[in-house]
Structure 1
């Protein structure tokens, strides 16, 4: 079967779309090697801003804090989102299912200002209640790592739930039903059959959660305290005082990390798809041989 040629207007639209997306990123990467102190004036190739960034303790500590929060929050959001997505996809009808689906998806459409403010008020109320019962201050409820973790988990869970639920809705339930007919328990079916099938979606959701967490500024501004500034907060505060060439370097490093993770994930998903296609073809071949053997007998 010969492949069809792409129409000229489709090529132009594709090139224009890619240019709109990637020309600003390419310019940012190029100017990260600029020798000048002015961000928009090219004066020669240099890597001095990379060495200065590696010596900037404020940015490095903020980046390390953001990375820790992103990993922990994404891991928690994957667990909660998988449970919520499984309930919505497999339990078709239960009392309050519509309300539950709406509440799970609400953080996706809710303004970040409202989410951050509501979480801050909730944490303050819980802290005051516990302090009244115990008579001492609850240090781990002070605004910092734990409160930012709660906010980012709430935000990421909504998106991950949608990803997991969509993947579960696409799966053929015949394997799960066959295992159930053979006497397997629901928990065994989930960990043996369902979980490996949705593993690519879980990996995608985990990376999406890390991206959302690293990118969040508004919710973090409500939930962070002294000494717990994340990377977006540090970048935003420095940009308000003027453009800094080190921000180009930092953005270039983040682009490289994200691009590497995306390539690894795509390679893993393509490998999983190829393996499933190979297994399906082998199963079809074995079934065909069995049918031919039965017909010959």
Structure 2
């Protein structure tokens, strides 16, 4: 009786139809409409298209002629590199360390994952206070240790002189825990027998990590890198809270698209299409580099 239920595939369609309808209404239709909007003239949010742009591809030419958009692309490139090296790199190191802890590993799982559950707006306000020019925590610490002259009230204007660094730090800090959990889950799936056999053969901890852990963790690392790349392309809330309106030339593709969406809808739509294209291309490149394989295939 039970085997007949699993062999009957007709009911699968009944359960999949609601999911397909949801994806069509809230994913595919808006995406296709956004592409169409990028070729039309739509000035303000909520207004209909008056006509097609002349030429219809003018917004895509404008993207590479707009100085602010070029700054956004450059900063987004920096963000992508920083998220791969900072978020995924640090998460990999932390996951390797925590996986070797026999007692108390649950504490570190909670501590490292905690920042991801905090609102990005709250984190932005928090780091605004940390990097505050006068009475900010960083400047006070630097004065205390003697790096800055406290007698003359020497201060560093982090948001003006080191804007990109100031923006990257909270973004990296927030998402390290997310990739940490993914990588730690991947580590838990590696058979312990492999490490025991390597230990018997005289392999050191470094050799076990290099020749067993990293190769078998390739698929998990690939997933994290793809998520980091796509996340860097669309990150918005935390940078916008710290640097509204691209203060100190901190435009990102996500923030610059948002800045245009209320006054130049078709141009913002074109930026959205470019973000998707870059994300797809980079995701394909990452998958080619890592050459993902089935579990435990080296």
* 1:118 pairs with 2:126: yes
After TM superposition, the structure 1 = structure 2 runs for residues 212-251 of structure 1, keeping only pairs within 5 Å, are: 212-224=231-243, 225-240=247-262, 242-251=263-272
Match of 1:51 in 2: 61
Query: Pick from 89, 93, 97: which aligns with 1:79?
Result: 89
After TM superposition, the structure 1 = structure 2 runs for residues 97-176 of structure 1, keeping only pairs within 5 Å, are: 97-123=105-131, 124-131=136-143, 133=146, 134-135=148-149, 136-138=154-156, 142=161, 144-176=163-195
Quote the Cα distance in structure 1 between the aligned partners of 2:251 and 2:278. 21
Quote the Cα distance in structure 1 between the aligned partners of 2:184 and 2:295. 23
What is the TM-score of this pair, normalised by structure 2?
0.79
Quote the Cα distance in structure 2 between the aligned partners of 1:205 and 1:161. 9
Deviations 1:15-57 (Å, cap 9, x if unpaired)? 2133132211111112222356577427347111111222111
My pick for the range that moved more, 40-49 or 65-74, is: 40-49
Quote the Cα distance in structure 1 between the aligned partners of 2:52 and 2:252. 32
Quote the Cα distance in structure 1 between the aligned partners of 2:86 and 2:130. 19
Deviations 1:176-202 (Å, cap 9, x if unpaired)? 221112111111110111111112211
Q: Is the 8 A contact 2:76 2:253 kept in 1?
A: yes
Residue 171 (structure 1) shift: 1.7
The structure with more helix, counted as a fraction of residues: 1
User: Over aligned residues, Cα RMSD in angstroms?
Assistant: 2.9
Q: How many residues align?
A: 273
Q: Is the 8 A contact 2:42 2:50 kept in 1?
A: yes
Secondary structure at 1:272's aligned position in 2?
coil
- Cα distance change of structure 1 residues 55 and 185 upon mapping to structure 2, 3 Å threshold: same
Query: Structure 1: which 5+ runs fail to align?
Result: 280-297
- Cα distance change of structure 1 residues 196 and 185 upon mapping to structure 2, 3 Å threshold: same
- Cα distance change of structure 1 residues 116 and 3 upon mapping to structure 2, 3 Å threshold: same
What is the TM-score of this pair, normalised by structure 1?
0.80
Match of 2:22 in 1: 17
* 1:34 pairs with 2:44: no
